[in-house]
Structure 1
């Protein structure tokens, strides 16, 4: 029985260039970000909160661990039409369950196009660890207060779902617009019983995850209340607070107009 990837675009097909972005171009984009000192915007998202911001097409956005290991939950929308949003499941099928440099964020039907392309990832070399864990997870989704109450009976309203909901309210979006996420910096996998597991984040101060906006984006990120996931926040959110750290955001222009080259 074949175990080849189910979603492939052979050379010459309409989707081949969309799924196989030129690595030289990606390297150039990343290098441009590294070399240029000017930032459009920089800010820090405090622990256990969320923030939304716009990333125009042609800009590069970098998420940075400014203190130490921390997981973040990321949502993307078309800045002009929030009906077009990131489709985690299809992205997982198009690329991998854990995504990195060269992979793209795909949007939902009927749009189905790349919203952003990953151009930098300091944890790209992590690969698979001894337990099969990998980073930047699409297997799971955001933590939320509904599941917490179901599992434990406890009330706690600073989960990633809640943080993302509060973050997008100023942009006219609601809880119904929050969707399945990319768990940035999160290390996960499937165990021998085919069940989802989470490990302590392997990130360190200075590690980053970077993407190039293919269209005008509204982006939202929650700094997960589980912090680096070394403690199960569903079991003890007070104890896990000591494992929580902020995430920095940096935006830069694409002054060379590479957006049209990637299309």
Structure 2
């Protein structure tokens, strides 16, 4: 992680001004699970390495998100199907929980301070992140990347566009399995996940919602394992 980020202001000004528009494209736009994101219940879907996918959940349905290899961070969002301007918000969620990481049984709150999902199962050690913004092209620019780099913010935008909607913005995601310890000086570190292959979380929809996931493309710092190699994750939807 660069301690002295640089900012290419001219390049930034050439990128889309709308938070709904991606800064580039990858396979995410061309690989929706279905035309409108409706899943086949019980079917296992892949979120390919460096890409994203979106799925529609009805109230009461549960999504199981699986860390197939144990090393992969999965940025996760939820938007109300009735109003995309209501979404899972960790500014609000941390206040509700009086904590940084949700535990089994905790509601995941929307920006209208009501549950949009509930964490109902977690087979991992429970280390996730609610502090860090989704990686975006601007982040990779500060890390010295030239040209386009896949990123979670664009994966969200592209995943929901693939099922016919636009995200009004890129909220703070629930960064599943991302290991960002906070020390007693209130400093943070960027560490590999402590989950193991096959660990999963289950999230129950408390309203009709669209869930988007990104298999984080970060390959410069070791949040996706010491080898810095992004891989796929999987998910299933149940009644």
Q: TM-score, normalised by structure 2?
A: 0.75
Q: Which residue of 2 aligns with 1:102?
A: 105
**Is residue 56–residue 216 contact of structure 1 (8 Å, CA) maintained in 2?**
yes
Counterpart Cα distance in 1 of 2:57 and 2:223:
33
State which of 171, 184, 200 in structure 2 corresponds to 1:179: 171
How far 1:228 sits from its partner (Å)? 11
The 1:176–1:83 alpha-carbon spacing in structure 2 relative to 1, beyond 3 Å, is: closer
Counterpart Cα distance in 2 of 1:164 and 1:190:
27
Aligned length: 198
Counterpart Cα distance in 2 of 1:84 and 1:231:
29
**Is residue 82–residue 177 contact of structure 1 (8 Å, CA) maintained in 2?**
no
**Is residue 79–residue 87 contact of structure 2 (8 Å, CA) maintained in 1?**
yes
Q: How does 1:202-241 map to 2 (within 5 A)?
A: 202-226=194-218, 230=222, 240=228
Provide the aligned C-alpha RMSD in A. 2.4
How far 1:77 sits from its partner (Å)? 0.3
Q: Which residue of 2 aligns with 1:118?
A: 119
State which of 133, 145, 149 in structure 2 corresponds to 1:141: 133
More helix by share: 1
How far 1:194 sits from its partner (Å)? 2.5
State which of 29, 42, 45 in structure 1 corresponds to 2:44: 42
How far 1:230 sits from its partner (Å)? 2.7
Ranges of 4+ aligned residues in structure 1 off by more than 6 Å: none
Counterpart Cα distance in 2 of 1:227 and 1:206:
21
Instruction: Give the gaps of 5 or more residues in structure 2.
Output: 1-39
**Is residue 73–residue 223 contact of structure 2 (8 Å, CA) maintained in 1?**
no
**Is residue 45–residue 223 contact of structure 1 (8 Å, CA) maintained in 2?**
yes
**Is residue 65–residue 236 contact of structure 2 (8 Å, CA) maintained in 1?**
yes
Matched position secondary structure for 1:69: coil
Structure with greater Cα Rg: 1
How far 1:120 sits from its partner (Å)? 0.3
How far 1:145 sits from its partner (Å)? 0.6
Deviations 1:8-53 (A, max 9, x none): xxxxxxxxxxxxxxxxxxxxxxxxxxxxxx9443211110000111
More strand by share: 1
Q: TM-score, normalised by structure 1?
A: 0.69
Counterpart Cα distance in 2 of 1:227 and 1:94:
33
Instruction: Give the gaps of 5 or more residues in structure 1.
Output: 1-37, 128-134, 234-238, 254-263
**Is residue 70–residue 228 contact of structure 1 (8 Å, CA) maintained in 2?**
no
